[in-house]
Structure formats: C-alpha cells, structure tokens
Amino acid sequence: MKKMLLTATAIVAVGAFALTGCSSERGGDTGSGSGDEAKGFAADATIGVALPDKTSENWVLAGQLFTDGLKKAGFKADVQYAPASNTVAEQQNQIQAMVTGGAKVIIIGAKDGKQLSTQVEAARDAGVTVIAYDRLIENTEAVDYYVAFDNFKVGQLQGQALLDGLAERAGHEAPYNIELFSGSPDDANAPVFFNGAMEVLQPKIDDGTLNVVSGQTEIAQTATEGWKPENAQRRMDSLLTSSYGSETLDGVLSPNDTLARAIITSVQGAGKPVPVVTGQDSEVESVKSIMEGIQYSTINKDTTLLVEQAIKMVGQLQKGEEVDVNDTEQYDNGKKIVPAYLLDPIIVTKENAAEAYANVPSLLEIVKSYQ
C-alpha cells in the first residue's frame, strides 16, 4: 500500500495507512504537476527564493547556493530570509513583494507552511509558479511542486539508528529507557519525521523492548517550539529531574543535530552518561561529536543536491518543458496532492561517515582528521 502522510492533522486520519506503507513506488515516474505550469518565460527572469531564518547551517548554505546557482543559470535571483526574531508576517510580506516585483517562479522554504496560503494564491493569480522547498505549504491548491528529501524515510532511518545504537552502546540487554523529541509544531516536516521514526519504534515500545519512562509519546508532548535548542534543553532538564532520579537514560530520539547537541548538553550538565542520540542535517559540530563518539548518528541530506534540483525545475519551467517529479500520490497538503521530487537521505554514523561524505569535501576533511 502506498504510504500517505504529511500534515499533523492528516497523520491522525491516515495513521493506519502510513504505518503500513512503503516506498516501493518511489522513483522512475515523471510527469506534469498542476497541468498549468508556465509555458516558458525570459531566460533572464527574476526568480524569488523565500527562506526561513538562519538558525540552521543548511538554510544559510541554501541561500548562498540559490544565489550563485540561479545567477549561473542566467536568472536574476531574489533570495530573502525571514528573520528569526520576526513572525511569519515578514515572510508573507517578502513573498508578496516578489509577486509584485514580477518573479516568474517563487521557491519557498516556509517559516510556517500553514500561514502562506493567501500569498501563494496571489502568486498563482499573477501567473507565478510556486515550488515548496523542503517544507510543504499546506491548505492551498496554489502550490505547483514540492522538492525535498524523503522526510518519512528520514524518520525511519532515525528510528532504526536509535535501535542500532542501543544494541551497540547501552551495555545491557533490553528493555532500554528512551525519550522522544520532535520538531516545531509550525513545520509540516516535524510530524513526518516523527511518524516515520515511530513506525520503527512503536512496535518495540509495544513489545517492551523500549520503555519511554516519562510516558510522553505523543507529538504534542514531544514537540520543540521553533526548533530552538534552548527549548529542547529545558525539556530534557525537566525529564531528567522528573523521571531519571535512579533510572538510566539509554537513548533519545532527536529530530535534528541542533536539538541533539542541546539534549547532550543537558545530560552532561546533569552529570549523567550520554545516551544514544540521533540527529539530522550533518551540521559540522555534530559531525565532530559523532567522530568523537558522543552523538550517535545524523542524516546526510546534501543541500547542494536539493538546491540543484530546484533550479533544474526552474530551468524546465523557463523552457516550457515538463517538470520532473517522482512522487505524485503521497504529499497531501490538505487541499491537493502536490507533485513532488524526492531525494534519498543517508544515515551517518562514525562507521560509515567517510563513505557518506565522500562527495562533501568539507565534512570528509573533518572525518579524516579523526582517523
């Protein structure tokens, strides 16, 4: 059965299907998205890129890659960030300005994918093609395409890495004590990561292999507002105080590297042994931590490849060509199935880091420095 996912509300409705799904339909098929994409436009047209704040290394890198890549392709790049201190209103204003300024395509890494429907509908009405980048834009038919890594698979890889790490490092047989963290409620990807991980972990919770000592297993309980490390550290501090007086914490599901490091800081501050901690994004400090044997795993989602795919889609639109997609069934944003192009993520541990980063010179250099 094909896996269905995306929004937090949709997960409740289709959870039974998502948990029995697979990715066998992935890849190989290409096709038109909305059926009304642009019939070509000037080769030097303006392309808007609206990104969230710069709290993640990957968002900073994406902005530079879009600026350089679009310029190299002959386009005028209008790349903007919504400041971390501002609400989503800043990104709304930026998108509206891009529409007014005559952008032919707007690529959007949403600050909050639930609050951009008015702006993308204005873009559609102006004949602008909208590509959701990394985060799905929800509850509107005005999203033409979605380009991302397979985020459900990211969660599955994180869940399996936690199990593998526990078997390798816990130092005792099951049951293992764990805690669960998820991302920000305003990010459509957060429930996807969590649901993918829970597909792997829930059976082990049910059979007693894993014990969530706090009892906090729902996404509303595990969420980290704004993806802010201080929020994750505060929650971990509280969990350690309330649930781990005499208990040993063996593992933590962390959805990304920034939160993983905050969780580890909390545990170290409490004077407890560092548990198996997962992550995502291959941030430099976490790659170093993995090579030092502290953080257990991360996910390599090569931002360069993702930006290249988004720019390739722009080029196809500019020529009036059919836009490549490889998933036309799974990404329901609440109003439509958004045609998507998905890239495969790679799990990274100390053992396979050199292989995983073979095409990422900066990270490969860090790995080699520890060997």
2: confidence class by pLDDT, cuts 50, 70, 90: very low
pLDDT in tens, 127-170: 999 999 999 999 999 999 999 999 999 999 999 999 999 999 99
Q: What 3-state class would DSSP assign to 45?
A: coil
- The domain limits of the chain are 5-143+302-343, 151-300+349-369
pLDDT in tens, 191-206: 999 999 999 999 999 9
- Structural tokens at position 325: 């997609």
Are 5-143+302-343 and 151-300+349-369 in the same CATH fold?
Answer: yes
18: confidence class by pLDDT, cuts 50, 70, 90: very low
The mean per-residue pLDDT over the stretch 255-267 comes to 98
Q: Output the pLDDT for position 117.
A: 96
pLDDT at 250 over 70: yes
How many other β-carbons are positioned within 10 Å of the β-carbon of residue 150?
23
pLDDT at 224 over 70: yes
pLDDT at 13 over 80: no
86: confidence class by pLDDT, cuts 50, 70, 90: low
Q: Output the pLDDT for position 359.
A: 86
> Which is more confidently placed, 72 or 85?
72
pLDDT in tens, 312-336: 999 999 999 999 999 998 899 999 9
The mean per-residue pLDDT over the stretch 296-311 comes to 96
Which sign, positive or negative, has the C-alpha torsion 94, 97, 103, 106? positive
Report the C-alpha gap between 52 and 59 in whole angstroms.
7
How many other β-carbons are positioned within 10 Å of the β-carbon of residue 305?
14
**Sheet of 76-81, strand order:** 76-81, 46-51, 105-108, 129-133, 145-149, 340-343
Mean residue pLDDT of the chain comes to: 90
pLDDT at 69 over 70: yes
What Rg value do the Cα atoms of the chain yield, rounded?
A: 21
**CATH number of this structure's domain 5-143+302-343:** 3.40.50.2300
The mean per-residue pLDDT over the stretch 82-86 comes to 74
Report the C-alpha gap between 251 and 163 in whole angstroms.
9
pLDDT at 98 over 80: yes
pLDDT at 33 over 50: no
The mean per-residue pLDDT over the stretch 278-303 comes to 96
Lowest mean pLDDT of 86-95, 170-179, 240-249, name the range: 86-95
In the chain, the percentage of residues whose pLDDT exceeds 90 is 82
**CATH number of this structure's domain 151-300+349-369:** 3.40.50.2300
pLDDT at 15 over 70: no
Report the C-alpha gap between 103 and 290 in whole angstroms.
42
pLDDT at 17 over 70: no
Q: Output the pLDDT for position 29.
A: 40
The mean per-residue pLDDT over the stretch 277-305 comes to 96
Give 23: exposed, middle or buried? Use CB within 10 Å, 0-12, 13-18, 19+: middle
pLDDT at 3 over 80: no
Cβ contacts of 234 within 8 Å, gap of 6 or more: none
What are the start-end ranges of the H helices in the chain?
A: 8-18, 57-72, 89-100, 117-125, 151-169, 189-206, 219-222, 229-243, 257-269, 284-291, 303-318, 353-356, 361-369
Which sign, positive or negative, has the C-alpha torsion 101, 40, 48, 9? positive
Give 27: exposed, middle or buried? Use CB within 10 Å, 0-12, 13-18, 19+: exposed
